[in-house]
Amino acid sequence: MIDIKFLRENSELVKENIRKKFEDHKLPLVDEVIRFDLRNREIKQELQALQAKSNQMAKQIGGLMKQGKKDEAQVLKDEVAGDKGRIAELAEEEKTVEEEISRRMMVIPQIIDPSVPIGKDDSENVEVERFGDPVVPDFEIPYHTDIMESFSGIDLEAAGRVAGNGFYYLMGDIARLHSAVISYARDFMIGRGFTYVVPPFMIRSNVVTGVMSFDEMDAMMYKIEGEDLYLIGTSEHSMIGRFIDQIIPEEQLPLTLTSYSPCFRKEKGAHGIEERGVYRIHQFEKQEMIVVCRPEESPMWFEKLWQNTVDLFRSMDIPVRTLECCSGDLADLKVKSLDVEAWSPRQKKYFEVGSCSNLGDAQARRLKIRVKSADGKTKYLAHTLNNTVVAPPRMLIAFLENHLQADGSVTIPEVLRPYMGGTEVLIPKKSGK
């Protein structure tokens, strides 16, 4: 959410930003906010004048009563009573107008970084850099669930009976591999100076609306019936929510945190054949990284965060590339975003395994996360960033495809072996389909 003072003084720039995001249907919101904002300031001025008048008249009434001039005092009392009615009327209008402003401001997109490429959707995202050489082996690579089934490692049918589509049972070596990757990612980030956190897996509605756009909320979040609680779609939600209404001493910044959580997502909409299996699911686990920092440091942290994910995947011998998200692919709260995609030897293309985002002061403004300067004289909004460290089981797809051997076995890279009891190779229990 942008600063209303900025919108007031730069309405055309805000409109141009909306056009760059191809959200022209939101253009009228800018003028509507300006109109309501003008009325809101008029109301406040009138209220201040009436309250000042009321205070002054109260003193006059007291003086008249001391002088025994009850009739004159009564005239003033009647006038004050009339003013109180007007004050109550204005206060109610003020509340309504501020709600109208807030409702519109919540859907006007954040000003994107000048470096963001302009494009309508993810088809116009721009490749930045590749890391590692993508290899297509001289043998056929089965679909990822077929690889998992060769290790008796997945049961989608039973999960469907228990919970419906979009759920899974992981078992045996595949389940162990899943946990090993999460544990390795945790220690990898701790080694880079991040503090490990296990957050709440449910959050209240005021946190939900503070950390994400309404469109994202509708598409992602599961609500707990009868309670003001939502299941988190990513630990970023509760991690940033931790600082709601807080004033952070500047000397404590940056806060660099890495969090583990299960994640729950509706995943609305139809998906292609390449998103069956465990590509898009309603429940998964993830290691996340979150930074709360001073505004001038957020570009630097953005670069560090995506590099952490690249380094993690390369340490497991998985080729990756980075993709700059274009303007039309940015959620409304994001200033800049970059996806990390892993190589799929079976598909002979890359697919998303992580997303790094700089949200500027958008979340901090909504959640009132402020920083107190070192001298204690000023307060300002923090900047927040987040990035996926690793999110199996999608990451397992990349892992299994890139480490599958012609005989159906899967090699375990050296960095992961301590988390797999020293195992160097996984041997299938049955032939793949």
The pLDDT, as a whole number, for residue 432 is 46
Q: What is the model's pLDDT at position 1?
A: 80
- CB 170 within 8 Å of CB 393: yes
The pLDDT of residue 275 is: 57
Give the pLDDT score at 273.
44
User: How would you classify the pairing of strands 255-264 and 247-249?
Assistant: unpaired
Name, in order, each residue with C-beta under 8 angstroms of 154's C-beta and a sequence gap of 6 or more.
145, 148, 168, 169, 170, 171, 174, 278
Determine the length of the chain.
433
Cβ atoms 174, 153 nearer than 8 A: yes
Q: Which helix (H) or strand (E) holds 384?
A: strand 383-390
Residue 76: the pLDDT is: 79
Residue 152: which H helix or E strand, with range?
Answer: none
Cα angle: 286, vertex 256, 341; to 5 degrees: 45
The CA-based angle 163-164-165, given to 5 degrees, is: 130
CATH 3.30.930.10 location in the chain = 122-426
Q: Is the peptide bond before 254 cis (omega within 30 degrees of 0)?
A: yes
Q: What's phi and psi for 261, nearest 5 deg?
A: -165, 155
Report pLDDT for 244. 97
Among 422, 280, 259, 291, CA closest to 351: 280
pLDDT tens, the chain, 433 aa long:
899 999 999 999 999 999 999 999 999 999 999 999 999 999 999 998 988 888 777 778 788 778 888 778 788 777 878 778 888 889 999 999 999 999 999 999 999 999 999 999 999 999 999 999 999 999 999 999 999 999 999 999 999 999 988 899 999 999 999 999 999 999 999 999 999 999 999 999 999 999 987 777 777 899 999 999 999 999 999 999 999 999 999 999 999 999 999 999 987 654 554 556 787 889 999 999 999 999 999 999 999 999 999 999 999 999 999 999 999 999 999 999 999 999 999 999 999 999 999 999 999 999 999 999 988 888 999 999 999 999 988 899 999 999 999 999 999 999 999 999 999 999 998 754 4
Distance (Å, rounded) from C-alpha 276 to C-alpha 147? 14
With a CB cutoff of 8 Å and minimum separation 6, the contacts of 307 are: none
Neighbouring C-alpha atoms within 13 Å toward the C-beta of 320: 28
Q: Does domain 122-426 have CATH number 3.30.930.10?
A: yes
Angle at 263 between CA 401 and CA 121, to 5 degrees: 70
Nearest to 207 by CA among 244, 233, 235: 244
Q: Of the candidates 309, 258, 257, 265, which has an alpha carbon nearest to the alpha carbon of residue 284? A: 265
Nearest to 399 by CA among 232, 181, 230: 181
Residues 6+ apart with CB under 8 A from 192: 308
Q: Which amino acid is at 368?
A: K
CATH number of 4-105: 1.10.287.40
At 318, which amino acid appears? I
Helix (H), strand (E) counts: the chain: 13, 18
Rg of the chain over all Cα atoms, to the nearest angstrom: 28
User: pLDDT for 264-307, tens place per residue?
Assistant: 998 765 455 455 678 788 999 999 999 999 999 999 999 999 99
Place of tokens 């990390």: 340
User: Is the separation of the CB atoms in 264 and 232 below 8 Å?
Assistant: yes
CA within 13 Å, CB half, 395: 29
Tokens of 317: 């011998």
Convert 226-245 to b/e letters by CB count within 10 Å (16 or more is b): eeebbbbbbbbbbbbbbbbe
Which amino acid, 305?
L
Ranges of CATH 1.10.287.40 domains, the chain: 4-105
Please tell me the distance from the alpha carbon of residue 110 to that of residue 1, in angstroms, as a whole number.
6
Say how many CA atoms lie within 13 Å of 299 toward its Cβ. 6
pLDDT of residue 80: 76
User: Which is it for strands 247-249 and 370-372: parallel, antiparallel or unpaired?
Assistant: parallel
